Structure 1
Amino acid sequence: MVMVKSVLFAMPSHSMTCFKLPISLCNQIQSAVTRLWWDSNSGAKKMAWVSWDEMAQTKTNGGLGFREFECFNDAFLAKLSWRLLNNPMGLRARTLLIKYCQHEEFTKVPAVSAISHGWRGILIGRDLLIRNMGWAVGDGKTIKVWQDPWLSTSRQLQHMGPPTKASHDIVVADLFQANTQDWDLNTIERELPELVDTILSIKPSKHGAPDKLFWIHTKDGVYTTKSGYIAAVEIQNEKKARDRRDQVTNW
């Protein structure tokens, strides 16, 4: 197990930090790991008594802690996307954002067909971030009340409901008292009466700092590859469960 984790898992890591590996290649690497684990010697195959899904479970859940290569790849790419998001003035960020994000923000630019393989991988990491980030309220000028998750620091939580035509595009700053970062109770009760207690528990920046995206799976809100891998595995498990339900429905 030590040899598998220190050698076979480490060898493709450099490529995974830059590019999205094909699923077929991830399956070949996984197959090599499985053969090394179960086969006594080359050419003499043995029975795999435990499924890969169980072996890939964490040790606390009864597994061996082996990594799902596709999810690990996505977690690495999300690290790269996190750097672009939080350091837009870096050389790499300026080069890529000028080329691909001239008309839309990085968090909203679509993955069109005419893009490089490297940028497509970055967008895959970006999508993993988007599904697991929330907004920390600063000056409230960036966060859209109805579209963005800003109501919790521990999970993605946004108001679900049909907004009025007049309030569809309001931002959090519109819920402040004039020229301050203090909540306007009358406005909140008028626009979001069912969320008064939740909103009042949020502490905006008193110094007018800009709104900031944070990673919901760490205490400090900073992305880590380990937490990103766990989030990617959860998404993959949800997809597998959904595919199984679809197969049963079609049958």
Structure 2
Amino acid sequence: MGFRDMKLFNQAMLGRQSWRILTVPNSLCAKVLKGRYFPHGDFWNAKQPRNSSYTWRGLMFGRELLKKGVIWRVGNGKKIQLIKDRWIQGLGVLKPVINLQVDTTVSYLIDEAKGTWNENLVKECFNPSDAEQILQLPLLHNHCEDFPSWPYTKEGIYSVRSAYNLAKMEGFHKFLSVNGKGESSDMTKIKRV
């Protein structure tokens, strides 16, 4: 298969299981884990208690890789945290120009009555270039929930190979940085498989 770094391969495999829990929350496995580790929240923001099982620690290790690659797609905007989650391709985490609560969701920027972005509010909260990118994002008219997308595959679905490549590239960039040979850290340039 061409996987050489077993730790990164293991993380990519565990990331696949984390992806399944994130995208199929009604599966039996996800329900059991929710009851034990995040009964009042969601998998994306779940904590890792000190007494957690080996399985849960593994899933958290896989989720670390997911968090580096996932882009959230906007549905109703109620799950995506405005300044913590990545939801605009190529921008990473947004930095507003005004103070916003950490737990503010993207729905804050949506005019629910019209089903469009609240253009004035978006322009008030972000610098012009970020605001323009937000306003270019299409909103779904059926008010579906927000959902994760994996931008390193054509279908937007997590694959072990693409996650492994993401982890390898990140390690390579860290190596270059430590050795004073800095390079672009634009993770969006990873080849899609």
Which bin holds the TM-score, normalised by the shorter protein? 0.7 to 0.9
Matched residue of 1:218: which SS? coil
Task: Answer yes or no: is the 8 Å Cα contact 1:141–1:173 preserved in 2.
Answer: yes
The question of 1:176 aligning with 2:113 is answered no
Distance 2:41 2:78 in 1: 18
Task: Answer yes or no: is the 8 Å Cα contact 1:215–1:221 preserved in 2.
Answer: yes
Structure 2, gaps ≥5 residues long: 181-193
The question of 1:223 aligning with 2:158 is answered yes
Question: AA paired with 1:179?
Answer: A
Distance 1:71 1:156 in 2: 25
Cα RMSD (Å): 2.2
Distance 1:113 1:217 in 2: 33
1:186 to partner: Cα distance: 1.7
The question of 1:197 aligning with 2:132 is answered yes
Task: Answer yes or no: is the 8 Å Cα contact 2:77–2:106 preserved in 1.
Answer: yes
Matched residue of 1:229: which SS? helix
Partner of 2:28: 91
1:82 to partner: Cα distance: 0.8
**Superimposed CA distance per residue, residues 13-71 of structure 1 (whole angstroms, 9 cap, x where no aligned partner):** xxxxxxxxxxxxxxxxxxxxxxxxxxxxxxxxxxxxxxxxxxxxxxxxxxxx4522111
- Please give the residue correspondences for 1:67-78 in structure 2 after superposition, counting only pairs within 5 Å: 67-78=4-15
Question: AA paired with 1:68?
Answer: D
Task: Answer yes or no: is the 8 Å Cα contact 2:96–2:125 preserved in 1.
Answer: no
Q: Which has the higher contact order (CA 8 A, sep 6+)?
A: 2
Highest Rg: 1 or 2? Answer: 1
The question of 1:157 aligning with 2:92 is answered yes
- Name the TM-score, length of structure 1 as normaliser: 0.64
Partner of 2:49: 112
Question: AA paired with 1:213?
Answer: P
1:235 to partner: Cα distance: 2.8
Structure 1, gaps ≥5 residues long: 6-64, 246-251
Distance 1:242 1:108 in 2: 29
The question of 1:206 aligning with 2:141 is answered yes
